[in-house]
């Protein structure tokens, strides 16, 4: 998925790769035994129903002229038995294939979601989240009918066609050839619309993706929208995107609806010829056709075109599914750029020394963010990063957690290159609080325990007390078991940060990373929090990013980051004595507060 916005279409593939259908077959394969049993049952039911027109032929040509009511009743009961067996087989098919179809859908959705969990931050930096979500939900759901009914129906109907043609030939070979004359015409229709139909559904999926991306963005930004009174402008954007989706859908569905009427028209024309020829042969002096045979044959005509209509529907579903499969497998195939190296080993128990050796990094080629960064933090030390927005402070701590891969250089923890250890063993020994204090839907207790599921309630409460979150949590209606909404909409920005702080601390990490941990906390709370932090930071290697310099005065080393490098380093007092960039930043904050 190339980088784009909600108003930019994704790249369309010029040709379909047949290997994608083979991959889909891989999901179907575990259920082939059950599908074979369903197909066998449906074929047996279909074969039995093929005898029904023969029953009617015998009734018309033999039993009625002979006035043999006993045989008429017997044939009627036999027809009822065949219908009952067919109904039971259909019920079994619907139930079994619904389970199989949804199981396959679940497997595909699980694979795509699991892969999304492994993709690096860079993947989510480059594309609207709504375009990712539509692939997991809408596109996968669109495969449901194809998997639940399409495959079995196709195999069954193909076999049915074979059976029907045999019975039609038994009835009358001449009429059968007339009926088959419609197939080449139908083939021409399919060839004519095939490429246009697939491209139309690709465009439709693009417009659906754009619309979904904008809806997700609008919901996430609703407070900003209402604050700046942007409702009318947003409605106009939505109407344009929705209108584009409607037009694309109408164009795509037009091709789908071409198949059904085409089949019906060809069927009607061939049936008319059969009636004209059949009646002519019946009325001829040397009649070569009976009324019963014509009635039986016309019954087979309906049965002949019904599976062809179903196959045409399957063809439509397949072309629609292909446009979605391309997007689904594209996401599953998205390379995991940050992953365990071959032969990666478990990170030993961390003591806390972190060393950057000539580290270079860029988000985009040719735009280097960090250039030859070097520093060493000893176990138990607190390092603070300051500097202008966009200088690379958050990038440095993200690299420690290996959320991105370095372009060159090394990051060592206790002398071990983190590129050589498993990501899970590395991050489980870190406590991390990002700038975005994300709160998940659920209880406050669950949110704090998110990074340490084994923690007891007492440990959760102790962590909350350390970061001064206990008081406001206790005052809520259900305390720690109060339900909060996604993103913590019921909580203030400061409360969300304190909960996220407690979540990071509960992991009891050897390396603690706090990215703007106190930016939304009032000064009074910050003073209380600082007391707890001073105690907590003992024995841990900590990295703190803060624009509020009062929170980092006691750091063992402060690094001033700008222009891709570390311009200054030292303690608070040492940097003030240098009267450089840090001094200017401190004085500007002091004057502002004054």
What pLDDT, in 10s, does the model give residues 52-88?
777 777 787 788 888 888 888 888 888 888 889 888 8
Give φ, ψ of 148 to 5 degrees.
Answer: -75, -35
Helix locations, 221-230, DSSP H: 222-227
203 & 327 share domain: yes
Tally of domains in the chain? 2
Name the 3-class secondary structure at 200.
Answer: helix
263 & 346 share domain: no
Confidence (pLDDT) at 321: 74
User: In the chain, what are the helix, strand and coil shares in percent, each to the nearest 5?
Assistant: 65, 10, 25
Tokens of 379: 């176990």
pLDDT beyond 90 at 358: yes
How far is residue 236 from each of residues 229, 232, 241, 441, 486, measured CA to CA in Å? 13, 6, 9, 31, 27
| 469, 498 contact by CB (below 8 A) | yes
Tokens of 370: 């960090």
Confidence (pLDDT) at 2: 44
Give φ, ψ of 367 to 5 degrees.
Answer: -125, 80
Confidence (pLDDT) at 360: 93
3-state secondary structure labels for all residues of 376-389:
EECCCCEEEEECCC
Unique residue bearing structure tokens 């219908």 = 83
323 & 397 share domain: no
The pLDDT confidence band at residue 1, using thresholds 50, 70 and 90, is very low
Confidence (pLDDT) at 532: 57
What is the C-alpha to C-alpha distance for residues 330 and 13, in angstroms, rounded to an integer? 11
234 & 344 share domain: no
Which string of DSSP letters, residue by residue, matches 242-300?
HHHHHHHHHHHHHHHHHHHHHHHHHHHHHHHHHHHHHHHHHHSTT----HHHHHHHHHH
Examine the fold and report which residue of 309, 332, 355 is the final residue of a domain before the chain moves on. Answer: 332
184 & 281 share domain: yes
In a domain, 290, yes or no: yes
In a domain, 513, yes or no: no
172 & 234 share domain: yes
> What domain range includes position 556?
340-429+545-594
Examine the fold and report which residue of 264, 297, 332 is the final residue of a domain before the chain moves on. Answer: 332
What is the C-alpha to C-alpha distance for residues 554 and 385, in angstroms, rounded to an integer? 13
Q: Looking at the DSSP assignment, which residues form a beta bridge with residue 384?
A: 544, 558
| 460, 511 contact by CB (below 8 A) | no
Q: Is the pTM of this model over 0.95?
A: no
pLDDT, tens digit, 9 for 90 and up, residues 540-588: 898 988 777 777 888 899 999 998 899 999 999 999 999 888 888 888 8
pLDDT, tens digit, 9 for 90 and up, residues 504-515: 778 778 888 888
Confidence (pLDDT) at 519: 61
pLDDT beyond 70 at 531: no
Confidence (pLDDT) at 594: 43
Closest CA relative to residue 268, chosen from 303, 302, 233 = 302
402 & 304 share domain: no
Confidence (pLDDT) at 354: 93
209 & 272 share domain: yes
pLDDT, tens digit, 9 for 90 and up, residues 261-281: 777 788 788 888 888 888 888
In a domain, 51, yes or no: yes
In a domain, 457, yes or no: no
In a domain, 506, yes or no: no
Residue 579: CATH number of its domain: 3.40.50.300
Cβ of 19: how many Cβ atoms within 10 Å? Answer: 9
Tokens of 464: 């909350």
pLDDT beyond 60 at 190: yes
How far is residue 482 from each of residues 305, 473, 487, 552, measured CA to CA in Å? 61, 8, 14, 33
Confidence (pLDDT) at 487: 62
pLDDT beyond 60 at 493: yes
In a domain, 91, yes or no: yes
Name the burial class of residue 571, with classes exposed (0-12), middle (13-18) and buried (19+) by CB atoms within 10 angstroms of its CB: middle
Q: 455: which DSSP letter?
A: -
In a domain, 102, yes or no: yes
Give φ, ψ of 538 to 5 degrees.
Answer: -65, 130
Please, which contacts does 273-279 make with residues 24 or more away whose CB atoms are closer than 8 Å? 273/178, 274/175, 274/178, 274/179, 274/298, 274/301, 277/174, 277/175, 277/178, 278/175
233 & 356 share domain: no
Examine the fold and report which residue of 312, 332, 352 is the final residue of a domain before the chain moves on. Answer: 332
Confidence (pLDDT) at 561: 92
The pLDDT confidence band at residue 435, using thresholds 50, 70 and 90, is low
325 & 365 share domain: no
Closest CA relative to residue 540, chosen from 521, 516, 560, 556 = 556
pLDDT, tens digit, 9 for 90 and up, residues 164-178: 888 788 878 888 888
Residue 207: CATH number of its domain: 1.20.1560.10
266 & 369 share domain: no
Pairing mode of beta strands 416-417, 408-413: antiparallel
What is the C-alpha to C-alpha distance for residues 529 and 467, in angstroms, rounded to an integer? 5
| 368, 342 contact by CB (below 8 A) | no
Closest CA relative to residue 100, chosen from 145, 62, 139 = 145
Q: 430: which DSSP letter?
A: E
What is the C-alpha to C-alpha distance for residues 546 and 543, in angstroms, rounded to an integer? 10
What is the C-alpha to C-alpha distance for residues 23 and 158, in angstroms, rounded to an integer? 23
In a domain, 475, yes or no: no
pLDDT beyond 80 at 288: no
267 & 347 share domain: no
pLDDT, tens digit, 9 for 90 and up, residues 200-247: 877 887 888 888 888 877 877 776 777 778 788 888 888 888 888 898
């Amino acid at each position: 998925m190339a980088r784009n916005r909600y108003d930019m279409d994704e790249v369309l593939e010029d040709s379909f790769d047949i290997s994608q259908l083979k991959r889909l077959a891989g999901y179907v394969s575990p259920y082939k035994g059950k599908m074979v049993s369903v197909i066998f049952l449906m074929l047996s039911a279909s074969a039995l129903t093929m005898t029904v027109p023969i029953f009617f032929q015998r009734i018309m040509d033999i039993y009625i002229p002979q006035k043999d009511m006993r045989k008429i009743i017997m044939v009627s009961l036999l027809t009822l038995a065949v219908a009952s067996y067919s109904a039971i087989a259909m019920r079994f098919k619907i139930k079994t294939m619904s389970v199989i179809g949804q199981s396959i859908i679940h497997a595909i959705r699980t694979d795509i979601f699991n892969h999304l969990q492994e993709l690096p931050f860079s993947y989510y930096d480059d594309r609207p989240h709504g375009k990712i979500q539509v692939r997991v939900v809408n596109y996968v759901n669109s495969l449901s009918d194809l998997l639940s009914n399409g495959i079995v129906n196709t195999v069954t109907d193909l076999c049915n066609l074979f059976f029907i043609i045999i019975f039609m030939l038994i009835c009358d070979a001449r009429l059968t050839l007339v009926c088959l004359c419609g197939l080449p015409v139908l083939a021409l229709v399919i060839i004519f619309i095939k490429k246009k139909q697939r491209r139309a559904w690709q465009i439709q999926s693009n417009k659906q993706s754009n619309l979904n991306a904008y809806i997700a963005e609008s919901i996430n930004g609703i407070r900003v929208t209402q604050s700046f009174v942007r409702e009318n402008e947003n409605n106009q954007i939505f109407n344009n995107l929705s209108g584009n989706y409607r037009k694309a859908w109408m164009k795509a569905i037009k091709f789908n609806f071409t198949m059904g009427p085409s089949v019906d028209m060809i069927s009607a024309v061939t049936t008319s010829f059969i009636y004209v020829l059949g009646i002519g042969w019946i009325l001829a002096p040397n009649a070569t056709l009976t009324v019963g045979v014509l009635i039986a044959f016309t019954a087979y005509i309906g049965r002949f075109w019904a599976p062809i209509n179903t196959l045409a529907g399957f063809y439509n579903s397949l072309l629609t599914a292909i446009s979605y499969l391309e997007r689904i497998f594209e996401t599953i195939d998205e390379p995991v750029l940050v992953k365990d190296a071959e032969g990666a080993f478990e990170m030993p128990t961390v003591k806390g020394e972190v060393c950057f050796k000539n580290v270079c990094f860029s988000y985009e080629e040719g735009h280097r963010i960090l250039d030859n960064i070097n520093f060493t933090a000893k176990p138990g030390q607190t390092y603070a990063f300051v500097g202008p927005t966009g200088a690379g402070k958050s990038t440095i701590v993200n690299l420690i957690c290996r959320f991105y891969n370095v372009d060159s250089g090394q990051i060592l923890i206790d002398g071990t290159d983190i590129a050589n250890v498993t990501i899970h063993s590395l991050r489980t020994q870190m406590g991390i609080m990002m700038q975005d204090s994300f709160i998940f839907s659920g209880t406050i207790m669950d949110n704090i325990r998110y990074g340490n599921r084994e923690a007891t309630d007492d440990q959760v409460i102790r962590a909350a007390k350390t970061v001064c979150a206990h008081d406001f949590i206790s005052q809520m209606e259900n305390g720690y078991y109060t339900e909060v909404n996604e993103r913590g909409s019921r909580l203030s920005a400061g409360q969300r940060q304190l909960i996220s702080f407690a979540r990071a601390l509960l992991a009891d990490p050897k390396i603690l990373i706090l990215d703007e941990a106190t930016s939304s906390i009032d000064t009074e709370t910050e003073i209380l929090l600082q007391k707890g932090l001073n105690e907590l930071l003992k024995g841990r290697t900590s990295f703190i990013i803060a624009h509020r310099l009062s929170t980092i005065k006691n750091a063992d080393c402060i690094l001033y980051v700008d222009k891709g490098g570390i311009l200054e380093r030292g303690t608070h007092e040492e940097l003030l004595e240098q009267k450089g960039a840090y001094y200017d930043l401190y004085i500007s904050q002091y004057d502002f507060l004054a």
